[in-house]
Amino acid sequence: MSQSLQPGGNIALGLMQGTVIVTHKLSQDIDTSLTAFLLTDNGKVQGDEGIVFYNQPHGPGGMAIYYPAHDESGVRTHKISFDLSKAGSDITRIAVTLTEDKGKGFAKVENLKASVNVGNDVIELTPAQFTEEKGIVVLELYIRNGQPKVKSVWQGFSSGLDGLCRHFGVEVAKDDTGTAKADCAANGVNVVEVIGQAGTSPAVEQHIASVKQDITGKQGDDIKQDDDSGVSAGNSKVNLQKVTGKINLSKGQKPVIIDKTAEITAYVTWDSKTDYDIYALVFTKDGRQIDVAMFGADGVKPLQSFDNGTVEHMGDVGRSARGFFSFRSKKSKEDSKTEIIKIRPNDNVLAVVPVVYSAQSNGTGSFYRYRASMTIDNNEGTTVSISSQNANDDDLIYTCVPGVILNTPEGIVIDAVEMYSEPGSERRPKLLRGHDGKIKVLMDAGPRNDYK
């Protein structure tokens, strides 16, 4: 039997267990995630075990189980199963939520539907209308006088997952909560805690950090989409052919894999008429992003070396200085300059993303005019070079990500992405790990660089 439930309405369920299904039309412009919060009478979670999502799919006692999102025939399907009879003594309800993780808002999510399936009964929940909301409480499951019930909520939050977490008792740690957390925050690491608890697990920290809604500017095509290359950070299976020698790699070509050596050198070269700065975004095994940069950003302090030199910036080269590998270009007969990032791979680091930045105060940012290029060298005879061949001559584009460097058991995977910021934006990129384990780059989604 099928029934329809309007926003704000509630209805009794015939069984304590069932499934919740949320679907919408697939689009490259949006990305959605489902999260369930297991709540007490005061509407708050008790601890990190009260958050159920793709990195923590099982709630305590099997009260809620998350299933990975499934994309097929132009539709994304989210699913979570529930069994209210398995609720602990203090847990009284489940709030099922959805977030839009590219900052576009739910006005861009087409054909949004939700249903609760119990036995042979299907309850269709008619959605509300949304504009810029980035997080939604879709429904609540609860027991009233011994009877399982569902309430159609469709309450929106403009701040996305961050707003939902605060609503349900999870907060981003403040600087004054302790030295360790203050230090993490200063280095751009998102740390979360449950109110009244000592702190959340790394899985929950990653989830909050990965979809925290401070995304601004154009995303869309700037998100590196999933492909069939088989490359995933930390995945033991990489379906790529290993290459040696001198390789030129361009955007759109399949990633390559090179031998992993004790030290990998990433160096970026440009025409000496301008002053670029290089920094590296590091994505760790426990889901943190660390910015290795000689200059800071909003809430992020300068950091020259991470993890005892695992990723290290070898020093800033100013406009008037010659670089570490300064040389005379055969084509232009003019000096070029280079800044260097050293990578000494270990299992703690999944990915390193070098970023080329031209501060607005430099007066120009044309990556096409000044021929910025990046080379990755394993120091045993193999180099992979990526040039800014797709750049235009816009002086207001200040940030370029030439490629992504992945640390896998089989070797170092290099993917030429050649992504650029929006004109006038001085925000750093942000790294996310998708449901499939792949590292994705969001341009203009991080903090604004300090004025230089």
Classify the C-alpha dihedral 358-362-364-367 as positive or negative. negative
Q: What is the 3-state secondary structure (H, E, C) of 244-278?
A: CCEEECCCCCCCEEECCCCCEEEEEEEECCCCCEE
Confidence of residue 172 (pLDDT cuts 50, 70, 90): very low
Contact status, residue 257 vs residue 241, Cβ threshold 8 Å: yes
Placement of tokens 């009794």 in the chain: 12
Interval 380-402 mean pLDDT: 79
Contact status, residue 173 vs residue 193, Cβ threshold 8 Å: yes
pLDDT for 287 = 87
User: What strand order describes the sheet that includes 135-144?
Assistant: 10-12, 147-157, 135-144, 93-100, 32-39, 51-52
SS3 210: helix
pLDDT for 21 = 97
Confidence of residue 387 (pLDDT cuts 50, 70, 90): confident
pLDDT for 348 = 92
Look at residue 442 and tell me whether its pLDDT is greater than 60.
yes
**CATH fourth-level superfamily of 2-211:** sav2460 like domains (2.60.60.30)
Look at residue 332 and tell me whether its pLDDT is greater than 80.
no
Confidence of residue 187 (pLDDT cuts 50, 70, 90): very low
pLDDT for 389 = 66
Long-range CB contacts (within 8 A, 24+) of 379-382: 379/261, 379/263, 379/264, 379/265, 380/259, 380/261, 381/244, 381/245, 382/243, 382/244, 382/245, 382/246, 382/247, 382/258, 382/259
CA 168 from chain centre, in angstroms, equals 22
Structurally, what CATH architecture does the domain formed by 220-442 represent? Sandwich (2.60)
Q: According to CATH, where is 2.60.60.30 located in the chain?
A: 2-211, 220-442
pLDDT for 452 = 53
Residue-wise over 67-103: b if at least 16 C-beta within 10 A, else e? eebeeeeeebbbbbbbbbeebeeebbbbbbbbbbbbb
Give me the percent of the chain exceeding a pLDDT of 90. Answer: 42
Interval 317-339 mean pLDDT: 45
pLDDT for 393 = 59
pLDDT digits (tens, 9 = 90+) for 144-171: 989 999 999 999 888 888 888 888 887 5
Look at residue 440 and tell me whether its pLDDT is greater than 90.
no
Contact status, residue 402 vs residue 369, Cβ threshold 8 Å: no
Look at residue 9 and tell me whether its pLDDT is greater than 80.
yes
Confidence of residue 210 (pLDDT cuts 50, 70, 90): low
Residue, of 150 and 88, whose pLDDT is higher: 150
Interval 264-293 mean pLDDT: 84
pLDDT for 275 = 63
pLDDT for 46 = 85
144 contacts: CB under 8 Å, gap ≥ 6: none
Q: Mutual orientation of helices 160-167 and 202-211 as an angle, nearest 10°?
A: 130
Residue, of 334 and 54, whose pLDDT is higher: 54
Which of 118-122, 164-168, 185-189, 233-237 holds the top average pLDDT?
118-122
pLDDT for 269 = 78
Look at residue 201 and tell me whether its pLDDT is greater than 60.
no
150-164, 296-310, 338-352: segment of lowest average pLDDT:
150-164
SS3 124: strand
DSSP for 339-350 reads EEEEE---TTEE
Look at residue 406 and tell me whether its pLDDT is greater than 90.
yes
Placement of tokens 């907060």 in the chain: 171
Residue, of 56 and 384, whose pLDDT is higher: 384
